[in-house]
Each structure stands twice: as structure tokens, then as C-alpha cells.
Amino acid sequence: MTFIYGKDGGEIHYDIELKNSDKRYDKKNEKEVYDFVGFIIQKDKILTVFPKYFFNDKKELKKEDVTLLFNVISKYASEHRKDNEAYKYIGYKKNFESDYPFEDFYSIYDYYKKYGVYKDEEKVIKPNSNGKISWKDTIRRSNVLISNNNMMFLPIYTKKNSFKKDFIGECMTYVINYTIRNFSYFINLNPIHVSGYKLDFIANKDYTIKQLRQCKNSVFKDHQKKLVNSLIDFFEKFDEKSSGGNIHFKINYFKYVWEKMVEKYLNDYFVEVDKKNKKLVFSENKINKNLFSKETFCIGKSTYEDVDNNKLRYLEPDHYGKEKKIIYVFDSKYYQYQEKDLTTNYKQIAYTFLLGNKQNSGEEEIYSALIFPGEERYALHIELNDDFAQMKPGCNFIIEQYLDVRKVMENYLDILN
């Protein structure tokens, strides 16, 4: 395999064919750049496009970094698949694309981790059939014959596993091993050791789906039903060309992932605002305050949006938190940072003023920050002149906080040391 690395907003390598939605033209630098985060597999080549600021030099990258990115996208897409019914396999259809049913694979593997390979207590008991003799059933159900002073039981009853048990167990083993083998570059999981399979389930996909649907009718436990449904979904979504053609596993709007990861990082590590130095303070150890969430506030009415219902207009800060008499209004910004191009964020100023004015008691302090990916540091985005200053402490400046992308991603997966 040839491994190609890039980063969102970075210059494109034309070793792999890209869709128009995967790139954009950077007018300033007069070049085409990547406009997605994720993976494209094309025959013997794998392109991995990392988020902005994930690395400075491609030589720094390791296989663990690829696995980290894969797991972040998998987790985000799986958690948000039900936010919009128009999805393809997992995630939003408009900003997530996958040509391989990874979510169904993970559902099947989760079953394996918890219960092992599918087991069922059901046994098939038949007279005069191949299988292990069931003496209990033979003695109980057969006729006793005496011949030459020997006691004989006829017929002989045998027992063996049901077709359902063998089929589902072997099918889930096949899916797990097939996926791990073909995507070992991304997935660091252990396969199930088997000597072979009675059936090539992918080559006989239609037959496999038909048998699984029949098995489903005789499965009654919820976790077993979920397993069979995941197996059916896997084969229904599996496209044979994906095993030899292009496979896409990517997000075109990583800003949504950045927002979700930042929220978790804030809830796990944010301590307070240092008012003197105008910066955010984070704990070295996880504190799990669960202070921040995305909130919506009504600020007025508009006859132009919906005349009949007089629909309300809203503010929706990415990260809103309130404790004691302090309010935090933070916003995630997944920008390609260039200092001279980073103009004042007037939306954040408006959010800060309006939410500050909302507090009728006048006792709350409100602090505002923009959170960017980049080298870990802080800066002052803007501090208002006295002529424009508000009465409330904190309303008059906005902090820029930069968080290490790798650290935020690791925390999202709960593997940050």
C-alpha cells in the first residue's frame, strides 16, 4: 500500500481521484486544497486527511494517529446518526460519507466482546440422524428391544446444534475477521481465530440475507435480535465494489466534530477565567464539571420569517455555561488561523452583549471566548474602548483560546493520559 497524508485546507496531492466536494480553490494562495477530513482508499493507495493543525511535519505521523482519527469520526458519526433521517450508513448525509458499513461492524463486534460468538441453547433432536447420541432422549422416547440377552433402544436419537446457531455464529465471525483484515490500517482489534468457513458470506450475499431474516424470526432475546439486525444491515449496505474500488470514510464539515470535541474538553478540564490575564484556566487532571452545553435563547420576533406564527429569532452559542454568578459564552471556531486575516468576530460580541443584557438582576458576570485549533496558547481577541464598554465585568473583552487538536481528540475518546 502507498500511504498519502494531507490536512484539511492543505495543498492537494493528485495521487488519488477526488470528488468536487472534497476540494476547494484557495484564491489567496492560488491552489486547490483539501476540504474534508477522513480517508479515501483507492486500489493500493490510502489517503488520510487530518484536521487543521494536527501535525506540522508529515514525518511526525504514526499509525496510531490514523487509528485515532478513524475512531473519532466513527464515534461522532455513530452518536449523531439519528439527528437527521437523511443519512447514509452513519452520520449526516450532507457532511458524512461512508462506502463501508462500519457502524454495523462495531455493533457486531460489541456483541462479540460482551457475549462471545453467538450461542443458543436450542438443539435439534432427531431419530436415526447424524450427530451426537442423546441417551437421555433415546431412553425416554425409544422402544426397548431384547435380542440375544442384549437391551437395545430403537430408534437412536441424536442431537446437534441448530442451523440458526451455526449460521449466525459463523456469519458474525466472518464479518469481524473480514473487516479487521481489510482495514487493519485503521482498526486495532483482535480477530476471531477460526480454521475456515463453510460459506463465503459476501460472495453469497443474497442467500446470507435470506437466511438471516429466517433466523431473526426465531430469536427472542433483545441483544440477539440486535445482533441479527446488525448482520442484515451490514450485508444489505455492503457494496462489493468497496472491496476493490474506492472507499470513502470522511466528513466534509469537521467544524461540527470540533465543536463536539471542544464541548467535552471544556466539561472535563475547564476551571475558570483568569480575569487579570484574560485567559481560560484548565485543570491538569480531569474534573468532569459538565458545565457547558449548546443553548438556545429567544431574542425577539420577526414577521418576515413566518407571518402566521410570528416566529421567534434565536441566539445559539456553541458552549454556554452558568455557575454561581458567572456566565460563560464560548464559541468553537474551526479556522485556518492567520493573524492578519482574523477579523473581529462581531457575532460573538453580539452574543456577549445580548446575553449580558438578559440578566435583569445585574449581578452576573459574563465572559466570552473563541476556541480555535492550534498550538496551545491564549490571546486577546478584542477589548472594547471605554466609550463602548458595558457595565458588566467580562462583557468588554473576548478571549482567544487555542487547544491542541490531538489532545482534544484523545479526550473525546477518553484515552487522554
Residues 79 and 138 in one domain: no
Residues 145 and 272 in one domain: no
Tens-place pLDDT, residues 229-249: 999 999 998 875 554 457 888
Residue 333: is its pLDDT beyond 80? yes
- pLDDT range class, residue 140, cuts 50, 70, 90: low
In a domain, 279, yes or no: yes
In a domain, 115, yes or no: no
Residues 355 and 281 in one domain: yes
Integer Cα distance of 379 and 385 in angstroms: 17
* Domain-terminating residue out of 189, 221, 251: 251
In a domain, 225, yes or no: no
Residue 413's φ and ψ, nearest 5 degrees, are -95, 5
* Domain-terminating residue out of 143, 161, 179: 161
| Amino acid (1-letter code) at residue 67 | T
The percent of residues above 90 in pLDDT, for the chain, comes to 36
Integer Cα distance of 248 and 265 in angstroms: 28
Residues 275 and 246 in one domain: no
Residues 131 and 45 in one domain: no
CA-closest candidate to residue 218, choices 116, 122, 110, 109: 122
Residues 338 and 320 in one domain: yes
List the domain range (segments joined by +) for residue 128.
123-161
The overall pTM is greater than 0.85: no
* 84 vs 301, higher pLDDT: 301
In a domain, 108, yes or no: no
- Identify the pLDDT of residue 242: 53
Residue for grid cell 476540504: 35
DSSP 156-202: PEEEEE-HHHHHHHHHHHHHHHHHHHHTTTT---PPPP-S--SS-TT
| Non-local CB neighbours of 76 within 8 Å, separated by 6+ positions | 91, 251, 256, 257, 260, 412
Average pLDDT on 65-87 reads 75
Residues 306 and 370 in one domain: yes
In a domain, 114, yes or no: no
* Minimum mean pLDDT range among 92-106, 113-127, 136-150: 136-150
- pLDDT range class, residue 316, cuts 50, 70, 90: confident
Residue 157: is its pLDDT beyond 70? no
Residue 37: is its pLDDT beyond 90? yes
How many domains does one find in the chain?
Answer: 3
**How far does CA 342 lie from the centroid of its chain?**
30
- pLDDT range class, residue 379, cuts 50, 70, 90: confident
Q: Is the dihedral of CA 111, 116, 120, 121 positive or negative?
A: negative
Residues 247 and 276 in one domain: no
Residues 71 and 137 in one domain: no
Residue 360: is its pLDDT beyond 50? no
Residue 204: is its pLDDT beyond 90? yes
In a domain, 104, yes or no: no
Residues 406 and 260 in one domain: yes
* Domain-terminating residue out of 200, 221, 251: 251
Give the DSSP H or E segment for 225: helix 222-237
Tens-place pLDDT, residues 92-102: 445 677 888 88
